[in-house]
């Protein structure tokens, strides 16, 4: 309100704070004191408006770093405007006044439908001011709930980005975008206001070293980094728009904390929580747009605010956006760039851990290989020793059968084809040789003449056996060969797999009249194969014979003596070493008929991945792998396999002390790195300010305008 004053009357004594007062000051108060009163719309008396030049100040709307904003009426045209005057009035220094006028100049230069227009610039009683369009719709801070829906938030930020881009085209960076500086008109249209700390890129103005302009929580990381080459670039406004979008969608800012320094630290060092984790209705495309705006590296944000608006509008139209979310590798690389010392320390620790682990594993592998070679060599030697013992036992059996085949009574009965006599002689032989329970006689034509035990002879369904390996082998033996050790055949009487030790029955002229043979069934009982080592077992294999005259000779082997083989079971065994040994024996040709001679020393093969088909006497699981030494039993179709499980062979070297040492050293290094990083962060949070090399505080301005 203005009060009439007689110019002939003396002036009031003056304001105790500001000196002399003007003649229009009511009740002895100077305009400065009146303007500094904290009014609201309800507190301002209707009968006492404050006259400020050609304007009447109606209410105080707010204040910032250097200005106070009022709701005012322009009396001459009866128009409500927003009036902003400099905060310190007549006491403002020249620098503050220059900045105030620069804000007015920058605002006047901008002409965009979503930037608050400037009406007037002037000065009253030494106090600079300018007026703008009045926005009755309030700020975005007050209307934030209206834009929580993702599409409405995206549409709002797209509109603001277009307005920001208009400023950038005029080389003006806002540098203080936040919800309080986004206002709405009476139709709900958004506007950008308050260019108080905007920067003109086409002018050589400088920001004081260490000064942080803007509101912590909305300023980009480079704006808080001294000497950053992109500290005053258009990407800073893109960051602020990203923060506003994140806040609208998540209900909180991406980086927050109990103190301003903590917020600055998190802005510099941490990554925001992905929006998809906070709200399921936020699409991946919109979250990607937001996180692109919040990239720590300004060069990896949107190239312009217009590009941001384009992507948001593509999202709103349901089209694919242009940007793609950075990969985990890129995010890790960005973290390393922000924390180079910690990254190097962690990298060195990880490298040391990997190196020590590889060294330990290599040493362990070398020890295991040495142990495997040692076990294989021992199994090779044991296989040859056991094969020699089995050969001696078979030689004893062969000598016995050959001696019985030379009996004159047997030759006479065979020559006379006296079946009853042959049966009786066969039973007498069995009685004399109790160690061999099954005996039979076959004539030169392959017909069975006698078989004991006699109670099983009536069950036979096949009476001619000229196709059997034992018949062919025995009938082809030279006079100086005692007996033939056959392949395993399936018995015609009890259907069990057996081997035969057959010797020819020769006439007076030396020609074979038939053969006498003893059967031995496949069994787990053979004392020669018992080994004293609990980790090493021996088995005996034999090549299988054909079951009919039309079948070719099989190449497969079956288990003859094995801890898991039942009587006459005939389980097939597979081994590369056994196949190689069989091929070598077949290549020997006629020498193979001299069965009871010792084989060459190289008739031994090794197998490091043998799979045992059966459980070994209930003390070892089937399968493998096993370390196996395979040796030929003379020149017969039998072979000895001495085997050791790999787990048993290398059990003592599975966890060497070097592995524990490597993990311990690596763990200590990682612990040191973690403690260092924690200590560094604690010290940073505890610092009240960052010292400037010239001695002045680095942080001159924190908080909101």
Considering the domain architecture, whether residues 309 and 416 belong to the same structural domain is answered as no
Task: Tokens 């209705």: give the residue.
Answer: 281
Please write the tens of the pLDDT for every residue from 33-50. Answer: 555 544 444 444 343 368
Is 95 marked as binding a ligand?
Answer: no
- What percent of the chain is modeled with pLDDT above 90? 33
Strand ranges (E), 415-482: 438-443, 448-452
Q: Strand, coil or helix: what is 199?
A: strand
Confidence class for position 20, pLDDT limits 50, 70, 90 = very low
User: Cα separation of 648 and 668, whole Å?
Assistant: 33
Q: Is the pLDDT of residue 119 over 80?
A: yes
**DSSP H/E element including 611:** strand 604-612
Check whether the bond before 274 is cis (ω within 30° of 0): no
Domain match, 191 and 245 both: yes
Phi and psi of 77, rounded to 5°?
-120, 5
The answer to the question of residue 394 being in a domain is yes
Nearest to 423 by CA among 441, 446, 396: 441
Question: Lowest-pLDDT range, 227-241, 309-323, 334-348?
Answer: 334-348
Same domain for 586 and 447, yes or no, is yes
CA distance 323 to 288: 7
pTM summary value: 0.49
Establish if 6 belongs to a structural domain.
no
What is the torsional sign of CA 408, 410, 412, 414? negative
Which among 1-15, 317-331, 682-696 has the top mean pLDDT?
317-331
What's the whole-number mean pLDDT along residues 3-13? 40
Domain encompassing residue 81: 26-133
Q: How far apart are CA 512 and CA 502, in angstroms?
A: 12
Within-domain flag for 300 = yes
- Same structural domain, 205 and 74: no
Looking at the structure, tell me whether residues 125 and 161 fall in a common domain.
Answer: no
Per-residue tokens: 477: 């033996």
167 and 123 share a domain?
A: no
Residue 193 lies in a domain: yes
pLDDT score of 619: 45
Give exposure, 634-659, as e/b (b: 16+ Cβ within 10 Å): bbbbbbbbbbbbbebbbeebeebebb
* Residue-averaged pLDDT of the chain: 79
> CB 693: neighbour CB atoms within 10 A?
9
Same domain (yes/no): 231, 204 = yes
Looking at the fold, whether 104 and 169 belong to one and the same domain comes out as no
Question: How confident is the model at residue 686, as a pLDDT?
Answer: 43
Q: What is the pLDDT of residue 202?
A: 55
The answer, yes or no, to whether residue 643 has pLDDT greater than 60, is yes
**pLDDT over 60 (residue 578):** yes
**Residue 603 counted as domain residue:** yes
Nearest residue to 563 (alpha-carbon basis) of 538, 534, 582, 597? 538
Instruction: Say if residue 518 is in the same domain as residue 598.
Output: yes
Task: Determine if the peptide bond prior to 453 is cis (ω within 30°).
Answer: yes
Q: Is residue 657 part of a domain?
A: no
CA torsion sign for 489, 495, 501, 503 is negative
Residue pLDDT, tens place only, 459-496: 445 568 899 999 999 998 888 788 999 999 988 777 88
Overall average pLDDT of the 651-662 stretch = 56
Last residue of a domain, one of 87, 107, 133: 133
Q: Is the dihedral of CA 67, 71, 75, 79 positive or negative?
A: positive
Mean pLDDT throughout 556-572? 82
Taking 70 as the threshold, does the pLDDT of residue 341 lie above it? yes
Check which CATH number belongs to the domain holding 38 and give it: 3.30.200.20
Lowest mean pLDDT among 242-256, 512-526, 628-642: 512-526
Higher pLDDT, 26 or 334: 334
Q: Are residues 176 and 311 in the same domain?
A: yes
556 alpha-carbon distance from chain centroid: 46
Give the C-alpha separation, 554 to 563, whole Å: 24
Residue 355 forms part of a structural domain: no
* Amino acid 615: pLDDT: 61
Q: Indicate whether 237 belongs to any domain.
A: yes
- Give the pLDDT mean for 670-693: 52
Residues 321 and 449 in one domain: no
Which CATH number covers residue 554?
A: 3.30.450.20
Among 77, 109, 133, identify where a domain stops.
Answer: 133
Q: Are residues 95 and 237 in the same domain?
A: no
The pair of structure tokens assigned to 223 is: 């704006």
- pLDDT exceeds 90 at position 630: yes
| 702 pLDDT higher than 80 | no
Spatial CA neighbour of 380 closest among 641, 42, 11: 641
Residue of 199, 189, 245, 193 lying closest to 218 (CA atoms): 245
Q: How confident is the model at residue 705 (pLDDT cuts 50, 70, 90)?
A: very low
Count other C-beta atoms under 10 Å from residue 332's C-beta.
12
Domain count, the chain: 3
User: In the listed set 651, 673, 690, which residue is the last one of a domain according to the structure?
Assistant: 651
pLDDT of residue 86: 83
Secondary structure of residue 44 in the 3-state scheme: coil
Q: What is the DSSP string of 56-101?
A: EEEEEEEE-SSEEEEEEEETTTTEEEEEEEETTGGG--HHHHHHHH
């Amino acid at each position: 309100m203005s009060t009439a004053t007689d110019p002939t009357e003396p002036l009031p004594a003056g304001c105790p704070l500001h000196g002399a007062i003007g003649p229009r000051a009511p009740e002895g108060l100077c305009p400065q004191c009146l303007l500094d009163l904290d009014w609201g719309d309800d507190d301002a008396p209707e009968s006492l408006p404050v006259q400020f030049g050609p304007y009447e100040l109606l209410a105080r709307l707010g204040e910032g770093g250097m200005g106070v904003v009022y709701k005012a009426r322009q009396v001459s045209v009866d128009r409500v405007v927003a009036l902003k005057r400099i905060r310190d009035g007549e006491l403002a220094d020249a620098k503050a006044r220059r900045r105030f006028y620069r804000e007015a100049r920058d605002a006047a230069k901008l002409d965009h439908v979503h930037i608050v227009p400037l009406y007037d610039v002037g000065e009253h009683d030494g106090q600079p001011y300018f007026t703008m369009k009045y926005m009755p719709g309030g700020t975005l801070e007050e209307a934030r709930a209206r834009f929580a829906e993702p599409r409405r938030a995206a549409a709002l930020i797209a509109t603001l980005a277009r307005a920001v881009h208009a400023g950038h085209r005029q080389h003006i960076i806002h540098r203080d975008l936040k919800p309080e500086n986004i206002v709405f008109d009476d139709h709900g249209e958004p506007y950008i206001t308050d260019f108080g700390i905007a920067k003109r890129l086409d002018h050589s103005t400088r920001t004081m070293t260490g000064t942080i302009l803007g509101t912590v929580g909305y300023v980009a990381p480079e704006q808080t980094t001294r000497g950053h080459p992109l500290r005053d670039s258009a990407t800073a406004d893109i960051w602020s728009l990203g923060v506003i979008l994140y806040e609208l969608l998540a209900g909180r800012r991406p980086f927050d904390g109990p103190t301003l320094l903590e917020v600055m630290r998190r802005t510099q060092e941490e990554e925001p929580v992905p929006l998809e984790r906070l709200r399921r209705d936020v699409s991946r495309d919109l979250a990607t747009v937001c996180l692109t705006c919040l990239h720590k590296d300004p060069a990896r944000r949107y190239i312009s605010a217009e590009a941001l608006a384009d992507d948001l509008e593509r999202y709103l139209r349901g089209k694919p956006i242009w940007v793609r979310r950075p990969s985990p590798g890129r995010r890790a690389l960005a973290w390393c760039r922000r924390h180079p010392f910690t990254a190097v320390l962690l990298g060195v620790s990880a490298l040391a851990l990997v190196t020590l682990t590889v060294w330990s594993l290599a040493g362990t592998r070398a020890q295991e290989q040495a142990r495997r070679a040692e076990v294989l060599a021992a199994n090779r030697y044991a296989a040859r020793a056991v094969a020699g013992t089995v050969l001696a036992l078979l030689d004893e059996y062969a000598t016995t059968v050959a001696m019985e085949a030379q009996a004159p009574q047997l030759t006479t009965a065979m020559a006379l084809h006296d079946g009853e006599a042959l049966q009786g002689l066969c039973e007498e032989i069995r009685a004399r040789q109790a160690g061999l329970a099954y005996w039979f006689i076959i004539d030169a034509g392959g017909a069975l003449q006698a078989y004991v035990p006699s109670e099983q002879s009536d069950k036979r369904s096949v009476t001619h056996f000229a196709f059997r390996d034992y018949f062919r082998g025995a009938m082809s033996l030279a006079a100086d060969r005692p007996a033939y050790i056959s392949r395993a055949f399936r018995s015609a009487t009890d259907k069990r797999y057996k081997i035969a030790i057959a010797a020819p029955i020769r006439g007076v002229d030396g020609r074979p009249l038939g053969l006498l043979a003893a059967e031995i069934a496949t069994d787990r009982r053979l004392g020669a194969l018992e080994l004293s080592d609990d980790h090493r077992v021996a088995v005996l294999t034999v090549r299988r014979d054909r079951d009919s005259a039309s079948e070719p000779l099989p190449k497969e082997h079956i288990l003859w003596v094995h801890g898991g083989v039942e009587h006459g079971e005939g389980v097939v065994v597979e081994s590369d070493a056994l196949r190689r040994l069989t091929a070598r024996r077949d290549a020997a040709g006629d020498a193979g008929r001299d069965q009871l001679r010792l084989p060459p020393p190289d008739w031994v093969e090794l197998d490091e991945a043998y799979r045992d088909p059966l459980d070994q006497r209930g003390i070892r699981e089937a399968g493998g792998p096993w370390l196996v030494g395979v040796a030929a039993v003379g020149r017969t179709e039998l072979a000895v396999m001495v085997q050791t499980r790999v787990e048993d062979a290398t059990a003592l070297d599975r966890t060497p002390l070097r592995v524990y040492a490597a993990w311990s050293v690596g763990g200590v290094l990682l612990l040191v790195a973690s403690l260092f990083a924690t200590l560094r962060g604690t010290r940073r949070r505890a610092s009240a300010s960052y010292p400037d090399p010239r001695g002045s505080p680095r942080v001159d301005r924190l908080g909101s305008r």
